[in-house]
Structure formats: structure tokens, C-alpha cells
Structure 1
Amino acid sequence: MTKLNLPSIDCKITEIEGKIQIFDIIRKKNIVLTPEEWVRQHLVHLLINQLYFPRSLIRVEGGLSYHGMAKRSDIVVFDQKAKPYLLIECKAPDVKLDKKTISQASIYNKTLNAPFLAISNGLKTYCFEMGSNGENSSQMNGFPESPRVKK
């Protein structure tokens, strides 16, 4: 897999029925190891191990509905009141992060209304604080603080 600009992870990779799989510590099962999944797993480990987000507040590949269409969010972190806090849209390392990526994440966030949004292809990561109306945003220098460590 591609070397990412994210901290390395201690993960379990196995081959099952000819397919390389990675163990997802959130879903507690093996997942086919695609380039996008490689990025997603690195971000999950970063959230838990370096940023101290509680594992119990992280959802991976969760379903949501936007204008009657079924969608899947890559990573959603919830706050202590079970409200969406941070939405992360993951892309494979060879996918350019552009306005289309930001638009996709923003559309998902119209349903979730998380105050923070991030997009990453593992090589580049951009984080945004969303405005109160969900439209305006400002780019941040990193991920928001874990709700667990907030005072």
C-alpha cells in the first residue's frame, strides 16, 4: 500500500480467500483492503491513538439519507451527547482532493450538521470548522480537539 502522510499504524492484515483484508477496530471485523480503506484505517487509528477520541464515539461507513438517496459517511465522530461532531470523507491516495470532494462531504454534512468536517486522501488532509448555518466554513490547521478532553 501507498506510504501515507499520516502516522503509521499497528494493524492486522490477513489474506482471506485470496483477498487482502485489514481488521477494522471499530467494526470489529476484517474489511477488504482497498486504497480508500487504507486511508480510513490510518485516520481511525490517528483519532484514537494520537487525538484521544473515544473509540465508542466513532462510526465507520455509517448510512445516511440525503434527499431520499442512501449515502454512506466514511467516518463520523460523535460528541458526548451523541451528536455528530466531526465528519471525515476519505479518498484513495491517487484521488485529488478538490471542490468535488468538499462538495460531497458538505452534502453529507447537511444531514449530520457536524461542526467540523475533514477530507483526506492520506497524503493531504484538510479540516474545516463549519459555520452555524452549515454553509460558511473556515479551514483549520489540524483536527479539532476531542470532545472528551474539552472542558
Structure 2
Amino acid sequence: MQKLNFPDYNFRFKNSENKVAIFDGIRKKFIILTPEEWVRQHVVRFLCEEKKYPLSHVNVEKIIKINGLTKRYDVVVFQPDGTIHILVECKAPDVAITQNTFDQIARYNMQINASYMMVTNGLNHYFCQMDYNLGEYRFLRDIPAYNE
């Protein structure tokens, strides 16, 4: 897999049915390694190792309902009270981050109400903070670390 714009992390791999799988510490199982999964696993490590969020506060690939449609978010970070602090949308490295990507995460966030959002393709990262009073998001240089 291609080098991403994250620190280097050690991952566990195995071959499964002639495909490479990567161990997901959140789901506690091996997941077929796709380019998007490669980004998702780096995001989880980034949040836990660099930003110090407890693994128990991070969740991946859960179903949400948006306007009656079933969608799946990539990564969320919960607050201790159960509210969602950060919503992350991951794309494969060869997928450009466009306005459509921001529209997608904004639609998801209408259901989730996260304080912060991150959009990444592993090479380019964008961080936003929601301002619910003004109904807009403000771009940031980074997302806060745990307990900031």
C-alpha cells in the first residue's frame, strides 16, 4: 500500500482467501485491505496515538439513517457522555477531496451533530469545527487532542 501523510504505524496483516487483510483494533478482526481501509486504519491510529483519544471512544463503520437512506460513517470519536465529538470521512488516496466530499460529511453530521469533522484521503487532511449557531463550519489547522 502507498505511503500516506501520517506517521508510520505498525499494523498486523494476514492473507485471507488470496487477499491481504489488516487487523482492526476497534472491530477486533481482520478486514480486507482496500485503499480506503488503509486510510481508515491510519486515521484510527492517528486519533489514538497522536491525539491520545482512548480506543474505547473510537468507533468505525456504523450504519446511520439519513433521509430514510442507510449510510455508513467511517470513524467517530465519542465524548465520555456518549455524544459524538469528531466525525471523520475517509477516501482512498486516489480520490480527490471535493465539495461533494464536504457535502457528504455535512449531510452525515446533520444526524450526528459532531463538534469537529475531518476529511482525508490519507494524503490531504481537512479539519473543521462546527458552529451550530451560524450553521456553518470553520476550517482549522488541526483537530484538538483528547481533553483539550
TM-score band, normalised by shorter chain: over 0.9
2:116 and 2:132 map into 1 onto residues whose CA distance is 11
**Residue identity opposite 1:75 in structure 2:** V
Q: Describe the superposition over 1:13-56 as per-residue Cα deviations: whole angstroms up to 9, x where unpaired.
A: 11111111000010000000000000000010011111100110
Please state if 1:115 is matched with 2:119. Answer: no
Structure 2 residue 58 is matched with structure 1 residue 44: no
**Contact 1:113/1:134, CA 8 A, preserved across alignment:** no
Hey, what does 1:53 align to over in structure 2?
Answer: 53
Aligned residues: 148
Structure 1 spans left out of the alignment, 5+ residues:
none
Distance 2:44 2:133 in 1: 28
Deviations 1:43-99 (A, max 9, x none): 100111111001101110011000111100000101010101000000000000010
Q: Aligned pair in 2 of structure 1 residues 134, 94: CA closer, same or farther (>3 Å)?
A: farther
Letter in 2 for 1:135: G
TM-score (norm 2): 0.97
What is the RMSD of the two structures over their aligned residues, measured on CA atoms? Answer: 1.0
Contact kept, 8 Å, 1:128 with 1:138, in 2: the verdict is yes
TM-score, normalised relative to structure 1 = 0.95
